[in-house]
Amino acid sequence: MVPLDLFLLCMLGVLIGAISALLGVGGGFFYVPALVLLFGIDPRIAVGTSLAIITCTTLSASIGYGLQGQVLMKSAACLALPGMAFAAFGALITAFLPSQYLVALFCVVLLFMGIKMIYRKFPLVFPLLVGPCWKERFGKLHEKGEELFVYPVHLVTWGSLAGFMSGLTGIGGGIVNVPALTIGGIPIHFAVATSAVVILITSLSATGTHLALGNLSIPFFVAIAAGAVAGAQVGVRLSPKAPPRMLELAVGTLLIVVVAALVVNTHLI
């Protein structure tokens, strides 16, 4: 790999890492198509490499959000613990799926993500506020903060789905985690921060499985991850000031364009 390619991959990581941290998602919705469309990598390896990059991005973002006191640990545990198991299961399934089917599944998930970002009322996640609940306090460090009720059934259900999607398609799962948290009344910036920690945990589980299956490109991982770590810190710092609605509309539109490009270039139709 020539120095120019390494530089371009690193800059790609910076851009996607910043967007991912701003939205509280892993960034796999861009890493996977970039690796498949621009570099011709096998979809399975693209998924595994994407998840490995996401672990670095979300580790960087999680440290930043943790220092700001924005991570809700009880909610994160309810999402992440079942998500770990289902992420490993989703990664294992990729060994038995033909590449074209894997790309088709990724396109379906990407399309739903794009629609959800553009049209917030699209019912991708719905409330399951039933069963036992407990209180969790949220607020900036050194502030009194507020309390809300956390429903484990709700978070465990959506955390399991997000983890499975992560391992199977290489996305982080934030498109499910963030609305699952906000439905319960958690402010968006705290939901984004908590989602970043959850994605870190579930991506580690899925990456381990993909590594065992041989679905990881070390050169691409190192080059993109180096930029993504720096980009994530940029996103963390911009998060309190960023207009989330404008960003959602822009990214949602771009995701639909990416789906169209994948469909055409991989001859799904």
Q: Domain range for residue 236?
A: 3-265
The DSSP secondary-structure symbol of 134 reads E
Count: domains in the chain: 1
Identify the residue with better confidence: 185 or 269: 185
* Other residues' Cβ atoms within 10 Å of the Cβ of residue 115: 14
Q: What is the mean pLDDT of residues 16-45?
A: 82
Of the candidates 194, 130, 199, the one whose C-alpha atom is nearest the C-alpha of residue 162 is 199
With 50 as the cut, is the pLDDT of residue 42 above it? yes
**pLDDT tens-place string over residues 229-267:** 888 788 777 766 767 677 778 778 888 888 888 888 876
Contacts of 67 (CB under 8 A, 6+ apart): none
Looking at the chain, the whole-number percentage of residues with pLDDT higher than 70 is 91
Spatial separation of the C-alpha atoms in residues 90 and 75, rounded to whole Å: 22
The DSSP secondary-structure symbol of 94 reads G
**pLDDT tens-place string over residues 89-123:** 999 999 998 888 888 988 888 888 888 878 877 77
Q: What is the pLDDT of residue 142?
A: 44
232 backbone dihedrals φ, ψ, rounded to 5°? -60, -40
Identify the residue with better confidence: 145 or 100: 100
